Amino acid sequence: METIEIGLLGLGVVGSGAVRTLEENREAIERKVGARVRIKRIAVRDTKKPRMVDVDPALLTDDVGAVLDDPGIRIVCELIGGVHPAREYVLRAIENGKSVVSANKELIAKDGHEPMHRASEQGVDFMFEGSVGGGIPIIQAMKSALAGNRITEVKGIVNGTTNYILSRMTEEGAELADVLRDAQASGYAEADPTNDVEGYDAQYKIAILSSIAFTSRVDTTKVYTEGITRVTAHDIEHAREMGYVIKLLAIGKSAGEDAIQVRVHPALVREGQPLASTLGPFNAILLRGHAVGDVLFYGQGAGMMPTGSAVVGDIMDVCRNILHGSTGRIACTCFQNKRLLPIETVVTRYYIRMYVSDRPGSIAAIAGVFGRHNVSIASVRANAPGSVDAHDTAEAIWVTHNVLEADIRSALAELQTIPEVRSVENWLRVEE
């Protein structure tokens, strides 16, 4: 049996998961591939650091060149993270004729086109299943089994940390800051949670998913991104009373031949829907294809072993391609440059919570403003539970029919200027 040598850049959470997956199932993996798969070198920053998996210390090096420039290594797994120097290492590996497996969502979302292009030129593979949804095999599915479909929508919960936080806020009626502190202490959230809480992690993932789904490049800087910091326990409670839960959604939709909508924001989701029932650190992604219909992917969206599973799956695919002389078989599929529509063009329903003057005619005056801005109201509840104590102020919760986001924004701007509205406390989109 031929031996295929691989090199790792990084032996952190994902690198360790990949090593453990390979070691725990080595015999079956090698029989399935038809080759021995050997880790030849592992480059890290600090070779003395304690590791999560047992590896021969002789494999560790702090010299990335020992991986990138070793002619015996055929596959480089980039499991470092961040754009630099990961990008330069990936390009160097490809220039050296090696296939690359990566789980680096930030690099692929922001700058994936160049490595993909270079990999095509070199006739090697560049695979990145672990970059979205941890162990959920959605990228390969879109590139292979579902490749015949015209995909019109891909949306889901792709960030486990915020889903865990929102799930606990919902269960406990707790505020974000308290749950976040606890999540950091128990390892569910990073010490610096900005990437997760502000929606950037979800932005990278939906940019990758949309680029594959809609065969187009997606500029991450144009993806509308709103995190969960505006979501309060109070909004979650109101949503629950109306039969909704609040989730951080990442949404990609086709908008005709040459345009797409890609956005990340919290939204009210109807209870009982698959996305509403996705709890804790789990991810769920719904995909709609013209031929296949709706497909739901569900599973652990991060973590050592789930992501290790995705990395090993990619390694095995590359090994098969090497054995059959077919590396570079699936080239970059983002061959179009579709327009990314601005958020103002979105048409959806909205939840709006405000404090209003508790006098006859207030609700009618506010409804009049909504009407002037083409915002049609589906329901309004005044003096809802949790209202403020001030005797002349009531809380009003409005839910609209489908309206244009530009109209909602102009209506809210005017509402903030009329005496009947004390304050617009929050507004969120409703995704049916």
Ligand X SMILES: NC(=O)c1ccc[n+]([C@@H]2O[C@H](COP(=O)([O-])OP(=O)(O)OC[C@H]3O[C@@H](n4cnc5c(N)ncnc54)[C@H](OP(=O)(O)O)[C@@H]3O)[C@@H](O)[C@H]2O)c1
Contact 4, 74 (CB under 8 A): yes
Question: Which residue's CB is nearer to ligand X, number 130 or number 266?
Answer: 130
- Tell me which residues in 241-260 interact with ligand X (CB under 6 A): none
355: helix, strand or coil: strand
Closest CA to 159 of 191, 126, 194: 194
Q: How far is the CB of 43 from ligand X (least distance, A)?
A: 5
Sign of the Cα torsion 60, 94, 4, 128 reads positive
Question: Which residue's CB is nearer to ligand X, number 10 or number 156?
Answer: 10
Question: Which residue's CB is nearer to ligand X, number 14 or number 39?
Answer: 14
- Tell me which residues in 318-337 interact with ligand X (CB under 6 A): none
Helices H / strands E in the chain, number of each: 15, 18
Tokens representing 355 are 């404090």
- Which DSSP string corresponds to 222-258? GSEE--STT--HHHHHHHHHTTEEEEEEEEEEE-SSS
Contact 405, 263 (CB under 8 A): no
Contact 205, 131 (CB under 8 A): yes
Q: How far is the CB of 46 from ligand X (least distance, A)?
A: 4
Question: Which residue's CB is nearer to ligand X, number 27 or number 46?
Answer: 46
Q: How far is the CB of 337 from ligand X (least distance, A)?
A: 26
Report the C-alpha gap between 129 and 105 in whole angstroms.
10
Q: How far is the CB of 142 from ligand X (least distance, A)?
A: 17
Question: Which residue's CB is nearer to ligand X, number 133 or number 289?
Answer: 133
Question: Which residue's CB is nearer to ligand X, number 83 or number 388?
Answer: 83
Instruction: Assess 307 for contact with ligand X (CB under 6 A).
Output: yes
Q: Which of 4, 7, 15, 30 binds ligand X (CB under 6 A)?
A: 15
Instruction: Assess 280 for contact with ligand X (CB under 6 A).
Output: no
Q: How far is the CB of 280 from ligand X (least distance, A)?
A: 14
Sign of the Cα torsion 31, 32, 36, 42 reads negative
Report the C-alpha gap between 301 and 281 in whole angstroms.
7
Q: Which of 302, 330, 375, 403 binds ligand X (CB under 6 A)?
A: 302
Q: How far is the CB of 260 from ligand X (least distance, A)?
A: 24
Which residue's Cβ has the minimum distance to ligand X? Answer: 12
Q: How far is the CB of 324 from ligand X (least distance, A)?
A: 28
Instruction: Assess 4 for contact with ligand X (CB under 6 A).
Output: no
Binding-site size, ligand X (CB under 6 A): 26
Question: Which residue's CB is nearer to ligand X, number 45 or number 339?
Answer: 45
Question: Which residue's CB is nearer to ligand X, number 43 or number 408?
Answer: 43
Residues 6+ apart with CB under 8 A from 150: 254, 289, 290, 291
Q: Which of 13, 101, 223, 267 binds ligand X (CB under 6 A)?
A: 13
Q: How far is the CB of 298 from ligand X (least distance, A)?
A: 16
Instruction: Assess 10 for contact with ligand X (CB under 6 A).
Output: yes
Q: Is 253 a catalytic residue?
A: no
- Tell me which residues in 41-100 interact with ligand X (CB under 6 A): 43-46, 49, 64, 79-81, 85
Contact 271, 282 (CB under 8 A): no
Q: How far is the CB of 410 from ligand X (least distance, A)?
A: 39
Sign of the Cα torsion 212, 218, 220, 223 reads negative
Instruction: Assess 14 for contact with ligand X (CB under 6 A).
Output: yes
Cα 283 to Cα 202, 275, 358: the distances in Å are 11, 9, 42
Strands, DSSP E only, in 290-367? Answer: 293-300, 339-340, 347-357
Residues 6+ apart with CB under 8 A from 308: 14, 16, 17, 18, 19, 20, 21, 130
120: helix, strand or coil: helix
Question: Which residue's CB is nearer to ligand X, number 15 or number 227?
Answer: 15
* Residue of 40, 105, 205, 247 with catalytic role: 205
How many Cα atoms sit within 13 Å of 366 on the Cβ side? 31
Binding mask 97-136 for ligand X (x = CB under 6 A): ------xxx------------------------xx--x--
- Tell me which residues in 131-170 interact with ligand X (CB under 6 A): 131, 134
Name the one residue in this structure whose structure tokens are 């709890």: 279
Angle at 20 between CA 16 and CA 26, to 5 degrees: 145
- What residues make contact with ligand X under the rule CB under 6 A? 9-15, 43-46, 49, 64, 79-81, 85, 103-105, 130-131, 134, 302-303, 307
Query: Where in the sequence numbering do the catalytic residues fall?
Result: 205
